[in-house]
Structure 1
Amino acid sequence: MNYQEYKIEEKTLLELYRGMLEPRLIEEKMLVLLRQGKISKWFSGIGQEAISIGVSHALKKDEYVLPMHRNLGVFTSRGVPLHRLFSQWQGKASGFTNGRDRSFHFGTQDYRIVGMISHLGPQLGVADGVALADVLKDQKKVTAVFTGEGGTSEGDFHEALNIAAVWDLPVLFCVENNGYGLSTPTNEQFKCQHLADKGLGYGMESHRVDGNNILEVYSKVNALCADIRENPRPVLLEFLTFRMRGHEEASGTKYVPDELMELWASKDPISSFEKFLSMKGILTQDEMASLKKNIQDEIEKNLKIAFEEEEVLCDERKELKDRYKHFDYQESKPSGILKNIRLVDAVSEGLRQSMEIYPNLVIMGQDIAEYGGVFKVTEGFVNDFGKKRVRNTPLCESAVVATAMGLSINGMKAVVEMQFADFASTGFNPIVNYLAKSHYRWGQNADVVIRMPCGGGVGAGPFHSQTNEAWFTKTPGLKVVYPAFPYDAKGLLATAINDPNPVLFFEQKALYRSLYQEVPVDYYTLPLGKAVMLRQGTAVSIITYGAGVHWASKVLDEEGIEADLIDLRTLMPLDWETIFTSVRNTGKAIILQEDTMFGGIASDISAMIVENCFEYLDAPVKRCASLDTPVPFAKSLEENYLPKDRFGTMLKDLLAY
């Protein structure tokens, strides 16, 4: 291995050597503990230390890095206390996730490390968001994110590279090409000659680096970082290395030819560098032995601290509370000046006024800039707030949601417009696995609102008409808002943006231009989790939201029925108190939703009413919903699909029970 050509001062050479040695010795100890049953799982980075250490030492301490399983050197280089790492791997409270996640599935703002999730791809888009925040704050910084050669096959990889290239984001995409994705060799992973070639398709600078040569890694990355800080752009780096252990220890390496193992063993980054340091007279064998002993002593000392720590005690109240970052709702009251506007105008006003209040708020979505969005919610926003804050995105919902998460991590707020709520399916992974779980896992909130134009009644067919709130009400950590009126839409959107937690904000698009209401001109807020009793009566409790509110109101007017009509407004959290109080007064309940019947939120509301109000019921709890089919296009089919015409019949049957 050629170390001679790199002119690096002796102090740095020794730092790099110690940097590689520490994670190697920790790993060797972990393998012993794994065999002893004292840790449950291990993903080894033995043989790949030069990449983590070279990249980490080229970054500044206040620059974010997004590592993976085999990047222990990132954590040790950043000075993460060893006893906390060891506690993390044992699921103890002094780790970084309170026992809620394992291995390297965590992050820490104190050390500017953003943890991975098992769905590898989203962290690449998160790096885009972190870097975008630096650009918007005029900070000359680099963000480094790691993935493996297998991860480059995921759609998120390509989406993240595309966004970074289009927006000139200062991201180092570090691909550790270690030969195998678990047991699948690279020739079965991709067809291009080199992984670095994948950057060419995105107009991105890319390089291939000997990932086992610490001086090549450090020199190349250091030079790139210095240049990128002054000339922001993304760079794709393919680090050639090899995984000397299994994907994780239980996998083994039987699928690897012996001669290949022998070849890469001869290229071990630590033993090779030791020979170089010895030959140059920089480090003697005794000094190496002394350094190893000091590190091993430090490992044993910190292991003792971790082992002596008690097991995590479960506090159910804390578990539930930590799904969300604490949000202290502050009511903002408007003046008495009102204006008669449509629901779409209310959404636009609420968004515009929040943009004025929060200079760190960024809006992203397809066609939302000059075009103003397909529903014209953001029309004129570019003129008022500029293209830096009102950003057209490529058609890549997954990476856009992940980018929003990165903005939040780096101290900003984000609103993402799904052009149609249906398209959230292509961004589903980062919503339910990254945004929803991060605060519970390691205390990192997702200050993100995703606007969801949804629903039928406009002849848009199966892919532009779904009302898919049940996909998200099932996921702990998300909040779900679904207003039925312009007044509620404006005030609830303001609160959703204030809230530091991820909010899915549903907007029934058939109501956008058909519904008018007197709405305050000024900025104001409304509380999440609080339903509204629109009508009162003793005959029955009607529980609904969105378009269902208007369908139910029409039936009540036509039939002259005196009923409690509850507009939920927020589906997560739900206002159980209002629901239960009403049902206990009326003795009958029907839940109306535009969503299909099976698995919708009406099912859970019905079950909760039975569990909590059974002795008050005079009839079975009824549910009224759309047919369990995709949303059809033809007018007659869609009218039959929606529940609005069936609701009156079901309501009268319930009253007659």
Structure 2
Amino acid sequence: MLSRKTKSSPVKFENTQLSNDKLLDLYRSMLKPRMIEEKMLILLRQGKISKWFSGIGQEAISVGVTKALNSEEYILPMHRNLGVFTSRNVPLDRLFCQWQGKARGFTKGRDRSFHFGTQEYRIVGMISHLGPQLGVADGIALGHLLKHENLVTAVFTGEGGTSEGDFHEALNIASVWDLPVIFCIENNGYGLSTPTSEQFRCKDLADRGIGYGMDSYIIDGNNILEVYSKVSEIAESIRKQPRPVLIEFKTFRMRGHEEASGIKYVPKELMEEWEEKDPILNFESYLFDKGILTEAILEEYRTEISAEIEENLQVAFSENSIESTETYELNDVFQSFEYEHFVKNENTENIRFIDAVSQALDSSMEKHDNLVLMGQDIADYGGVFKITEGFTEKFGKDRVRNTPICESAIVSTAMGLSINGMKAMVEMQFSDFVSSGFNPIVNYLAKVHYRWNQNADVVIRMPCGGGVGAGPFHSQTNEAWFTKVPGLKVVYPAFPEDAKGLLNTAINDPNPVLFFEHKALYRSIRQDVPTGYYTIAFGKAALLKEGEGITIITYGAGVHWALQTLEEMDYHQADLLDLRCLQPLDLESILNSVKKTGKAIILTEDSVFGSLASEISAIISEQCFENLDAPVVRVGSLETPIPFAPALEKGYLPRDRFAQKLKDLIDY
């Protein structure tokens, strides 16, 4: 329990503007999360909550920043910022249910502590991979900027998080694009047990803002008046002149990284020094000295807060343990999407695959005025494949945006745009480069709807594939990295007509879609394609050829290899299935075909081990075993990185091996 200080305060308060009511509000707003934490630490020892990340000693930052923002402005806290939630008046019973994994929490028992967001209170919680949070703030702020809203976004990180690449990427994006973001660094002395002396060499973390061309400040994070007044001033300035600002709050973590960690690694004298700077006790003494706070008022606050805590705890404790069903859980992985079918018109033109992609983007930009395209060199240059050539003249640079070379933060920015009610398309210049943006795709975009009912309205275009002599870093077909991740949709067309219709659907779909486009098909495949806007439903394979003898299952360039092989063999007894969409997968068409023919061969450009071909093979073996007349055959590329030299690349790719294995299976 708090014990008021009596000696002179090491925290120096200066106030000439704030009313007594405001001063008392700031004090009570810090007292509330402190009292909640003290209760949570008791419950933790009793085994009634599973984990706790304490913000004791840092309440002035959470409360001061939140109080300085307007209620409609987003704030992105960390796991020690309870004061953000209480200052936004999030109901305590829901917070307590969240920490106990109850249904009325914000994640339906699917995530713990502060790993959640709530649109109602304009709070977006972090994930354990801390870095993406900063890019998400960029996206939210970009949305405000594009909608001409004079609003600020504030995002928190610890001093440890400033070493992550996402931190630097996000600051650079915000600076280049003049985004209205306040980057708040809580420099609390230790990243878990690692002191700042082993984390960075600059004197102050605020100095890092200089390198990104932004204003930066150092604020005493234990001084509520300094935090609130300075952040209020900065926020008002940013609303008038949008730009990012970096603030380093000097503070200390008075308890372990989480309670199990303890604080044995902290020197005793350092802990005592910071105990003297307790933000609540020092402010309390200041208010008593000024005659603003009295014992009666203090007792009233403590009684009210204590009663609120106990009342809401009983509500949470009385709620039954969460129950669910398999169907309910599966249905929450994606936001519900009612596919709207736009019929193809009768007018066609003979165009290339690459033209079909460009047309889909163009028509989608016209259909959705909240759609933003982002990627390296996609603006005036039109992208390395010239797919967006002429787009800036038609739609403007606000909506067709060149990005710095920072895939991770750009994916996170796309997530932030979705949170702010917009749509985003991110072009990976080459699908290989997605490895630099892998974390926010599989840990943020894929999981966000299941975790707290927020969709990720993001399409990531993935120029991919070999056959063009581009070597190990520009030729991968890496769809299997994503087909196994719940929450992602994966599309991989083989023809211009499909590419146009499926890309239109991908942009309409409010869920994250990885859209693979084989580079070797861009200018080599032509087709008569409807000129108008149309869509094609996901999860429907195309039966390109029909026969009774064998089922060929493939996608992407593999479709064209299969067609050429069948023509060369003059074989007309094959069912040839072009999957088109890999997630969701058209299992019905696959299984019906295999049950009819009794033989199946799966062709992928990916190496076989761990590929989608392996998964389809397993499904066929499980569900069609009694219908099979031969083993299920998989054909893929060599188990090596893809080489550059034409002869080596030809040996790597599976086209020739497919012809032989197809013959062998037909003759089996």
TMscore range, shorter length: over 0.9
Residue 450 of structure 2 corresponds to 440
User: Matched residues in 1 for 2:358 and 2:300: separation?
Assistant: 66
Structure 1 residue 7: Cα displacement: 2.5
* Contact 1:61 1:112 survives alignment (8 Å): yes
* 2:311 alignment partner, one of 294, 301, 320: 301
* Contact 1:135 1:169 survives alignment (8 Å): yes
User: Matched residues in 2 for 1:165 and 1:371: separation?
Assistant: 22
Letter in 2 for 1:56: T
Q: Would you say 1:163 and 2:192 are equivalent positions?
A: no
Structure 1 residue 191: Cα displacement: 0.7
User: Matched residues in 1 for 2:417 and 2:634: separation?
Assistant: 40
Residue 404 of structure 1 corresponds to 414
Residue 75 of structure 1 corresponds to 85
* Contact 1:323 1:437 survives alignment (8 Å): yes
- SS of equivalent residue, structure 2 residue 186: strand
User: Matched residues in 1 for 2:509 and 2:177: separation?
Assistant: 28
- SS of equivalent residue, structure 2 residue 219: strand
Q: Would you say 1:286 and 2:296 are equivalent positions?
A: yes
Letter in 2 for 1:530: K
- SS of equivalent residue, structure 1 residue 353: helix
User: Matched residues in 2 for 1:4 and 1:599: separation?
Assistant: 63
Structure 1 residue 6: Cα displacement: 4.4
Distance 1:588 1:192, change over 3 A: same
Residue 222 of structure 2 corresponds to 212
Q: Would you say 1:563 and 2:566 are equivalent positions?
A: no
Q: Would you say 1:575 and 2:621 are equivalent positions?
A: no
> In the TM superposition, what are the counterparts of 1:531-546 in structure 2 within 5 Å?
531-546=541-556
Alignment deviations for residues 411-439 of structure 1 (CA, whole Å, 9 cap, x no partner): 00000000000000000000000000000
- SS of equivalent residue, structure 2 residue 172: helix
Letter in 1 for 2:653: L
* Contact 1:6 1:215 survives alignment (8 Å): no
Structure 1 segments unaligned to the other structure (5+ residues): none
Structure 2 segments unaligned to the other structure (5+ residues): 1-10
* Contact 2:66 2:84 survives alignment (8 Å): yes
User: Matched residues in 1 for 2:295 and 2:271: separation?
Assistant: 26
Letter in 1 for 2:91: P
* 1:88 alignment partner, one of 98, 102, 118: 98
- SS of equivalent residue, structure 2 residue 350: strand
Runs of 4+ in 1 over 3 A off after TM superposition: none
Q: Would you say 1:552 and 2:562 are equivalent positions?
A: yes
Q: Would you say 1:602 and 2:606 are equivalent positions?
A: no
Q: Would you say 1:130 and 2:140 are equivalent positions?
A: yes
* Contact 1:50 1:213 survives alignment (8 Å): yes
- SS of equivalent residue, structure 2 residue 123: coil
Letter in 1 for 2:254: M
TM-score, length-scaled by structure 1: 1.00
User: Matched residues in 2 for 1:595 and 1:335: separation?
Assistant: 35
Structure 1 residue 560: Cα displacement: 1.7
Q: Would you say 1:174 and 2:184 are equivalent positions?
A: yes
User: Matched residues in 1 for 2:15 and 2:26: separation?
Assistant: 16
User: Matched residues in 2 for 1:473 and 1:181: separation?
Assistant: 35
> In the TM superposition, what are the counterparts of 1:324-363 in structure 2 within 5 Å?
324-363=334-373
Q: Would you say 1:188 and 2:198 are equivalent positions?
A: yes
Letter in 2 for 1:582: S
Residue 59 of structure 2 corresponds to 49
* Contact 2:360 2:504 survives alignment (8 Å): yes
Alignment deviations for residues 526-585 of structure 1 (CA, whole Å, 9 cap, x no partner): 000110100000110000000000000011111122200000000000000000000000
> In the TM superposition, what are the counterparts of 1:406-425 in structure 2 within 5 Å?
406-425=416-435
User: Matched residues in 1 for 2:343 and 2:14: separation?
Assistant: 70
Structure 1 residue 138: Cα displacement: 0.2
* Contact 1:6 1:219 survives alignment (8 Å): no
TM-score, length-scaled by structure 2: 0.98
Report the number of matched residues. Answer: 657
Letter in 1 for 2:89: G
Q: Would you say 1:615 and 2:589 are equivalent positions?
A: no
Structure 1 residue 314: Cα displacement: 2.2
* Contact 1:20 1:270 survives alignment (8 Å): yes
User: Matched residues in 2 for 1:484 and 1:621: separation?
Assistant: 23
- SS of equivalent residue, structure 1 residue 144: strand
- SS of equivalent residue, structure 2 residue 387: coil
User: Matched residues in 2 for 1:60 and 1:14: separation?
Assistant: 19
Residue 429 of structure 1 corresponds to 439
Residue 383 of structure 1 corresponds to 393
Q: Matched residues, percent identical?
A: 70
Residue 4 of structure 2 corresponds to none
> In the TM superposition, what are the counterparts of 1:99-118 in structure 2 within 5 Å?
99-118=109-128
User: Matched residues in 2 for 1:4 and 1:451: separation?
Assistant: 53
User: Matched residues in 2 for 1:202 and 1:526: separation?
Assistant: 44
RMSD: 0.5
User: Matched residues in 2 for 1:12 and 1:481: separation?
Assistant: 55
* Contact 2:14 2:225 survives alignment (8 Å): no
Structure 1 residue 334: Cα displacement: 2.6
* 1:147 alignment partner, one of 136, 145, 157: 157
Letter in 1 for 2:304: N
User: Matched residues in 2 for 1:377 and 1:94: separation?
Assistant: 47
User: Matched residues in 2 for 1:192 and 1:9: separation?
Assistant: 38
- SS of equivalent residue, structure 1 residue 105: coil
User: Matched residues in 1 for 2:187 and 2:288: separation?
Assistant: 29
Structure 1 residue 129: Cα displacement: 0.1
